[in-house]
Structure 1
Amino acid sequence: MDSMTPRAIVSIIQGFDISPEFIYPLFFFLLLVYFTLLCSNIGLLVLIITEKSLHQPMYVLFCNLTINDLMGNTVLLPQLMAHIISTERLITYNQCVIQAFYSHTFGTASHLILIIMAIDRYVAICHPLRYNSIMTTKAVVVLSATAWAVSLVLVSVLIGLTVRLSRCRSLIQNAYCDNASLFKLSCENVLINNVYGLFFTVLLFSCSMGSIAVTYFRIAAICWIRKNKELNNKALQTCASHLVLYLIMISSGFLTIILHRFKNYPDLRKIAYIFFHVVPSNLNPIIYGIQSRSLRNKIIQVLQRKVTST
């Protein structure tokens, strides 16, 4: 392909090799997953916004997580479903860049928001008397804004380094668009892209894993020292779900990154990436909705009012 071709040139997405009899079952399964994700996350977001009693720092973090989940999956799933049932899997370069940008922003913001949530849990469990003075609404808003700003800056540089490259190929060897798939369209030297991509990944995962490890180690140490049954139960209840979701997210993220280096497992890489997007986003509103007593009570009250009104 000529390197001077306009940016709006159409590319072909490789997608999944699916047998004809599985195309529509897979399509409707993903549609159900997406519909469930939309209903649970939007419902949780509306509930937090409309109920004044939930206008607290912890629920501001829930809103960040919910908005991020909605954004990340709306960028990925509708187009993926369209390509599953389409005979021609076409996408313009500009659309591919936008999808890659929002997808990487979703992944980066997920890590940073979960770091803030881990800090919030640490303060709530280890310094309960000082919680309201430390985790104020202003502090949480500043932390959230910082997380989004850092995500946007890091991803903008990542995608910007790729957009500058000319292109000699038109086949995107993936089921979706990400940075690696984009720079593989170029025949230029992509050393800078690889170096920055490695720096980006190491920085994000080191900060993420390090922060989670430190906060949970300190929570465990406090629980061990105090030997308070009520404190231990609170720590287990509030931290176990957060840790499980984090492990799912980071393991699928690691698998996606590693499998980009191995061409023999393309479908496994695609599945891992979709898993990274879909599973935590569907579990977040369910687990956090059940875990938080105030939120759980509000959900029950809303459901009871609906049942009574009918």
Structure 2
Amino acid sequence: MDNISYVIFTVSGPKDFKANKYVYFAFTIMVYFLIILFNLTLIVTIIRERALHEPMYIFLCNLCFNGLYGTAGFYPKFISDILHETYVISYTWCFLQAFVIYTSSMCEYTTLVVMAYDRYVAICKPLEYHSIMTTRAIVKLLVFCWVFPFIAMSNAIVLASRLPLCGFHIDRLYCDNWSVVKLSCVPTTTNNIYGFVVIMLFMAHAVFIVYSYMKLVHACQKSKENKNKFMQTCMPHLLSLINFTIAVLFDVMFSRYGSRDFPNSVRDFLQLEILLFPPLFDPVIYGLKLTEIRKRVLQKHKERKINVSRPKRN
């Protein structure tokens, strides 16, 4: 293992990828810029506005920060690779990239779980909300959002790094743990069992989300006020959850069942969906649906326009 210096992976883009590399370069930079802009806008708005220092907005801020963290593990390297003829990454950086991308995906999910719990308490137990969602409870939930993914992925990386490899070609746009495991020269039973355990833990989280929404729907039937709360604050969460779930399914489909016979455009989409739609659309969904967020963003935008148009005094 000490002699491993590079793991090579392929950017399986469109057939005319090299001929139009500057077009793809510009498009990718634009997408990454929008991801940074949208997420930073919500983060700065939530931090600066004291009225938004509520649990729901704090968890949203964490979701946006996680979007920046995860995409930082992919886009800078990918943008650089577009202009190169070969696409290589060192053994250490390959595992680091896999760690960042997949801890971010796991953190996205744990944050959505915590947000479901927050909405459950807010709508189903409104009189107890502030006694349950204390500052200490919020900190614990935020720690859970990050610690669980970091521990889960750290163990997976350690197990994969101990495997002797019989090949160093990863047919993906980025490094991932499962692709490295598939290159092993020895049986990977331990890795497979550990992966199954992690999946079961996340399935338990999914059960909790389903349970929370069953309670929320039941509460909405009892009160028009609860129904309005659900439409205002739960719909963005539900849309983000659906968006993320679809992205994960696409990624799993490609990792487990992806075929070289798939068209290049399909292969690219299956890989990139998880790094494109959740971090790009989460802040848009919440920015459009949450009145307080939308109102403050528009207010700041109007203030900037007024300041720019106002003539300077000598």
TM norm structure 1: 0.91
Q: Aligned residue for 2:157? A: 159
Q: Aligned residue for 1:209? A: 206
CA shift, 1:40, in A, is 1.3
User: Which 10-residue stretch deviates more, 191-200 or 98-107?
Assistant: 191-200
Q: Aligned residue for 1:24? A: 22
CA shift, 1:185, in A, is 2.9
User: Which 10-residue stretch deviates more, 237-246 or 172-181?
Assistant: 237-246
Matched, 1:124 2:122: yes
Residues 226-276 of structure 1, C-alpha deviations (whole Å, 9 max, x = no match): 1x3332132123222211221121122123223322242565454223211
Does the residue aligned with 2:85 lie in a helix, a strand or coil?
A: coil
Residues 247 and 277, structure 2, Cα contact 8 Å, conserved in 1: no
Q: Aligned residue for 1:59? A: 57
Does the residue aligned with 1:109 lie in a helix, a strand or coil?
A: helix
**Alpha-carbon distance in structure 1 between the residues aligned to 2:135 and 2:296:** 20
**Alpha-carbon distance in structure 2 between the residues aligned to 1:121 and 1:22:** 46
Matched, 1:233 2:228: yes
Q: What fraction of aligned residue pairs are identical, expressed as a percent? A: 32
Does the residue aligned with 2:8 lie in a helix, a strand or coil?
A: strand
Q: For this pair of structures, how many residues does the alignment match?
A: 303
Q: Aligned residue for 1:10? A: 6
* 1:247 equivalent among 242, 251, 258: 242
Q: Counterparts in 2 of 1:87-102, with a 5 A limit?
A: 87-102=85-100
Q: Aligned residue for 2:218? A: 221
Q: Aligned residue for 2:35? A: 37
Does the residue aligned with 1:174 lie in a helix, a strand or coil?
A: coil
Residues 113-164 of structure 1, C-alpha deviations (whole Å, 9 max, x = no match): 0000011111222222322222122211111102211111111111110011
Residues 7 and 88, structure 2, Cα contact 8 Å, conserved in 1: yes
Residues 4 and 166, structure 1, Cα contact 8 Å, conserved in 2: no
Residues 16 and 84, structure 1, Cα contact 8 Å, conserved in 2: no
Q: Aligned residue for 1:262? A: 257
Q: Aligned residue for 2:312? A: none
Q: Aligned residue for 2:311? A: none
**Alpha-carbon distance in structure 1 between the residues aligned to 2:256 and 2:73:** 24
Q: Aligned residue for 2:275? A: 277
CA shift, 1:286, in A, is 1.7
